[in-house]
Amino acid sequence: MHVTMTYLQKHLSLVVLVLLQRAVNSDVLQSTTFSNTQQCHRLCWYRPPCVAYSVTTDVIASDVTCILHSDPVKNADIPSGWQTTTATAKGISNSCAVRHCSLTQVCVPSLTSHTCLTLQLDCGVPPSLPGSVFAYNGTGVGQEAILTCASGYGMAPYGRAQATMTCQSNGQWSTLTDHCQKVEFDAPSVPFIKRLPWQLDFGWKSCFRGTFLGNGQMVFNFLADEEDYLNKDVAQYQNVALQIAFRDHFDVYRNITSFSRKVSNVWGSPPLQQTADMPLTPGDPFTLTFDLSFEWFEATLQGAGYTAKFPSQGIVNFNSVVHLGIAQDLQLTYVHLTSAAGCTPPGV
């Protein structure tokens, strides 16, 4: 069987076909239907990016659904009723038996020669991702889509302002290493345990609002240990890079802010540092800003004229901190994990 130019043009409408089958497998080059498996086998070989093809037969329609893959397909990924075969030149004796064409072309055999037909590939609309906003002028090969994050989201894991993905020659967008993570929360429950969108660095600020319940303490645990984060139980943390505890009545501590850390399930004693005259009493609302500068980690209770601070270098490696757990005697009404201005102005 010789594949004509008209035949290929009919079955290589990638703008629609790739989008329809992308959900089946992320490496899909094309999906179409044929009257038999051999046609799918040939088309896969005629397209140099194709390394395997999958087929399933519709008995009622008497046709074969064909999907071309740009990556090898694992047996575990093959749905029931499908068969997957590696691309080979077996059974092809025409002028396309050798892969002459480039990755963006398809070979069209004739009786005496062949033609390399350039495909007009299109990656389609960029994927819809939570909190993500894409800007793009086109969706063809070589076009770029710029990712930024919607309000209330930050770009993880590096804190960049934007990220770029490119439409590739296989008709798929390049893989993003960045993603948008939710960083702003209204009235979250306590314990509040979240992964920070990126590792802490100088210039980081955050904002917390709520009510101090007392009698006891409200604690903010900064974690670098993945197992502690996954544990989700504040009482069972084995390692706490830094704990900031606002205490009005806890053990022997009265009206202080304590900076402590926990190593191998043992709290350091005494605390690393304590700041007296912590002003909160049970029932008090609070507006709290954390501010990490080159010299200090500052915790400021706005409107109360109170700041407790801890040296930002030499004791705690803030760059290793990637999780935050908030617990005990408080209610939260608002959290912003990466507020560039902290809680400024206090009522906003």
Task: List, for residues 86-111, the tens digit of each pLDDT value.
Answer: 999 898 989 999 988 888 788 988 88
Per-residue DSSP letters for 9-21? HHH--HHHHHHHH
Mean pLDDT for the stretch of residues 45-61 = 84
In angstroms, what CA-CA distances link 64 with 23, 34, 61, 82? 19, 5, 9, 10
Residue 241 CB neighbours (<10 A): 22
- List the structure tokens of 315: 């004791």
Amino acid identity at 164: T
By the 10 Å C-beta count (0-12 exposed, 13-18 middle, 19+ buried), 41 is classed as buried
Class of 184-336 in CATH: mainly beta
Q: What is the pLDDT of residue 267?
A: 81
Q: Give phi and psi for 308, each to the nearest 5.
A: -110, 135
Q: What is the pLDDT of residue 279?
A: 93
Residue 3 pLDDT exceeds 50: no
Q: What is the pLDDT of residue 20?
A: 36
pLDDT, one tens digit per residue, over 36-50 is 899 999 999 998 888
Find out whether 75 and 67 touch, Cβ atoms under 8 Å.
no
Q: Taking the domains of the chain in order of start, what are their residue ranges?
A: 5-118, 132-181, 184-336
Q: What is the DSSP letter of 128?
A: P
SS3 185: strand
Q: Which residue, 106, 175, 103, 172, is CA-closest to 139? A: 172
- Rounded Cα distance, 280 and 285, in Å: 8
- List the structure tokens of 234: 């504040």
Q: What is the pLDDT of residue 60?
A: 67
Q: What is the pLDDT of residue 61?
A: 63
Residue 285 pLDDT exceeds 90: yes
State the residue for tokens 């889509």. Answer: 145
Residue 12 pLDDT exceeds 60: no
Q: Which residue, 115, 104, 88, 114, is CA-closest to 30? A: 104
- Rounded Cα distance, 242 and 292, in Å: 13
Q: Which residue, 106, 103, 27, 98, is CA-closest to 67? A: 27
Residue 248 pLDDT exceeds 50: yes
Q: How confident is the model at residue 123 (pLDDT cuts 50, 70, 90)?
A: confident
Find out whether 173 and 138 touch, Cβ atoms under 8 Å.
no
pLDDT averaged over the chain? Answer: 83
Q: What is the pLDDT of residue 235?
A: 66
Q: What is the pLDDT of residue 57?
A: 82
pLDDT, one tens digit per residue, over 182-227 is 999 999 999 898 999 988 888 999 999 999 998 788 999 998 876 6
Mean pLDDT for the stretch of residues 145-169 = 90
